[in-house]
Amino acid sequence: MAQNVLLTGAFGRVGTAIIDHLADKPDYNFTYLNRSDRDQYETFVADVSDREAIQPAFEDQDAVIHLAGYPETDGTWEEILKNNIIGMYNTLEAAKEAEVEKFIFGSTNHVVGMYEVENAPDIYYPDFDLMIDHTVPNRPDTYYGTSKAFGEDLGRYYLENYEFPTQFYALRIASVRHEEYDHPYGDAEHGVDRGDWERGSDEYETMVARMKSMWQSRRDLTHQMECCLTDDEVDFDVFYGVSDNDRRWFDIEHAREVIGYEPQDNGEEWDAPPE
Amino acid sequence: MAQNVLLTGAFGRVGTAIIDHLADKPDYNFTYLNRSDRDQYETFVADVSDREAIQPAFEDQDAVIHLAGYPETDGTWEEILKNNIIGMYNTLEAAKEAEVEKFIFGSTNHVVGMYEVENAPDIYYPDFDLMIDHTVPNRPDTYYGTSKAFGEDLGRYYLENYEFPTQFYALRIASVRHEEYDHPYGDAEHGVDRGDWERGSDEYETMVARMKSMWQSRRDLTHQMECCLTDDEVDFDVFYGVSDNDRRWFDIEHAREVIGYEPQDNGEEWDAPPE
């Protein structure tokens, strides 16, 4: 029987990767929750900052993939508080009330972002000797990263103290790109194809090197989501979401061992779009 | 020259211990910030959930000891959100704006409370083999504990990303008692002397055993605060606040090594008050 899966923040970069790769599979029956609708999709329109509004979307779901929230590192405290902190509480409460078993949380590398900041740009290049795993202390680089650390802790609190959810996965997703800029090309938001940086400039080369180290292709992301959707062993765990990049400094061995994550892509294949 | 120290939540259990033991020393010039005043003390009356109201109290301070917030594990989400999450943001912002160098945060054992919950009551008795240090993953047991984990992360974010504060200490304080119930007696709030449990009952014995393992005497707490106030090495660190209890499962070696914490008391001396 198909698994009922609620996708919050369905139409962002990560949500659309899941839709693109999984929506047609008979294994899953998706509900899309989003603040605004899209013509082509039936959408449960609601904001995760509104606890009552979102509750009905959780009924009869087997799993929730929680991606809704302010999605970028430039979020102000007010934006982060409302969408990511209160939004996480509301989403967990709704899942608990509706007795949803599985909760997959779209966390971020920015929970541990200072390890990057203090080592950039050297960390983006081959042979830099650092591997960050799920046991390192949190070192958030932004309100955004701090709010996702909070979300992981709150999820663990719910997991260990309430009947539902019964499984909680924190995926610290690094750099997933929009469909049109995915492999083998770059990313609109980071400025590569908006001309923010001159091709060949130092900043441009650094940006490309960063992407090669932090990229998670849309198919690897989706595969990792499926690993979580089909797993029945984990109670609480934290995994990094990156492809098997030569230059990665995020551990994927833990995800490989625990949920069978086997990424197919490598950031060395990634490149910025042509001029 | 005396150090100017702002004490938020000055009149709670921890704040009054500091006042009792340190207010008369010439080394410190305290300002008491509290939601309500006390006849005997000059008080800056303000609520940490009100950012503008608290700001003036931070001017010209060398250090802030941040204790204000909802203080118990029974806090509802709304209480914790307002007082502990928003309150922490406001306090850090105020410290940053006023260029306060040192930030000592009253965190809690409940950040890692599930290690206790899953091992109680055996964990309260001698020879139970567990030692929780500052490197274990967070496992909060309540909204309260989750909010303090957030406060630690937010403090680290400020420390590593802004000019001020320049030092941040998270003290995971376990069980500090009111003056009248301190060594060698028990604690009103936990019911020992309110007759919640019959003396000699299993629950009563468990409560006493718990206190023997988790107690931090008021003088050890105050000494630990002074270790932080006088330290000039730490940038960010996490320490447990317990006395040198035979039954403790919280590490104090890290605090001993880094800030010279040398507790004088031992929970074996602690006992519940007589009937």
pLDDT digits (tens, 9 = 90+) for B220-246: 999 999 999 999 999 999 999 999 999
In a domain, A130, yes or no: yes
What is the per-residue pLDDT for A110? 98
SS3 content of chain A, % helix, strand, coil (to 5): 40, 15, 45
Q: What is the CA radius of gyration of chain B?
A: 18
CB A167 within 8 A of CB A103: yes
What is the per-residue pLDDT for A274? 59
What order do you get walking across the sheet with B236-241 strand by strand?
B43-45, B28-34, B3-8, B63-66, B102-108, B167-173, B236-241
DSSP per-residue string spanning A54-102: HGGGGTT-SEEEE--S--STT--HHHHIIIIIIHHHHHHHHHHHTT--E
pLDDT tens per residue, range B126-181: 989 999 999 999 999 999 999 999 999 999 999 999 999 999 999 999 999 876 55
pLDDT tens per residue, range A14-58: 999 999 999 999 999 999 999 999 888 999 999 999 999 999 999
Q: Check CB contact under 8 Å for A146 and B149.
A: no
Low-confidence ranges of chain A (pLDDT < 50): 183-195
What is the per-residue pLDDT for A275? 56
Q: Which domain holds residue A219?
A: 3-269
* HSE value, Cβ hemisphere, 13 Å, CA-based, for B172: 31
Report how many domains make up chain B: 1
In a domain, A275, yes or no: no
Instruction: Kindly report the number of other CB atoms within 10 A of residue A55's CB atom.
Output: 16
Residue B187: pLDDT band (50, 70, 90) is very low
Q: Which of A225, A256, A231, A243 is nearest to A67 (CA)?
A: A225
Strands (DSSP E) contained in A9-136 are 28-34, 43-45, 63-66, 102-108
Query: In this structure, what CATH number is given to the domain that contains residue B225?
Result: 3.40.50.720
In a domain, B275, yes or no: no
Rounded Cα–Cα distance for residues A215 and A222 (Å): 13
Is it the case that residue B196 has pLDDT exceeding 70?
Answer: no
Q: How many CB pairs under 8 A join A and B?
A: 65
CB B96 within 8 A of CB B136: no
Distance from CA of A155 to the nearest CA of B (A): 10
Contacts of B149 in chain A (CB under 8 A): 149-150, 153
Q: Check CB contact under 8 Å for A160 and B146.
A: no
Going B239 to B245 to B250 to B251, the CA torsion angle's sign is positive
What is the per-residue pLDDT for A180? 57
Known catalytic membership, residue A144: yes
What is the per-residue pLDDT for B183? 41
Q: Check CB contact under 8 Å for A154 and B146.
A: yes
Beta-bridge partner residues of B3: B28
Residue B272: pLDDT band (50, 70, 90) is low
Is it the case that residue B251 has pLDDT exceeding 90?
Answer: yes
In a domain, B274, yes or no: no
Contacts of A85 in chain B (CB under 8 A): 81, 85
In a domain, A128, yes or no: yes
Distances (CA, A) of A170 to A93, A240, B134, B194: 17, 8, 21, 43
What is the per-residue pLDDT for A204? 81
A85–chain B Cβ distance below 8 A for any pair: yes
What is the per-residue pLDDT for A207? 85
What is the per-residue pLDDT for B200? 77
- Residue from B73, B115, B147, B157 whose CB has the most chain A CBs within 10 Å, to mutate: B157
Chain A residue at shortest CA distance from B141: A157
B125–chain A Cβ distance below 8 A for any pair: no
High-pLDDT (> 90) share of chain B, %: 82
B140–chain A Cβ distance below 8 A for any pair: yes
Interface ipTM = 0.94
**Closest in A85, A135, A156 to B140, CB measured:** A156
What is the per-residue pLDDT for A196? 56
What is the per-residue pLDDT for A197? 63
In a domain, B110, yes or no: yes
Contacts of A160 in chain B (CB under 8 A): 114, 117, 139, 141
pLDDT tens per residue, range A172-199: 999 998 765 554 444 444 444 444 567 7
Residue identified by tokens 């990303």 is B161
In a domain, A274, yes or no: no
CB A122 within 8 A of CB A108: no
B136–chain A Cβ distance below 8 A for any pair: no
Residue B71: pLDDT band (50, 70, 90) is very high
Is it the case that residue B194 has pLDDT exceeding 60?
Answer: no
Chain A residue at shortest CA distance from B138: A153
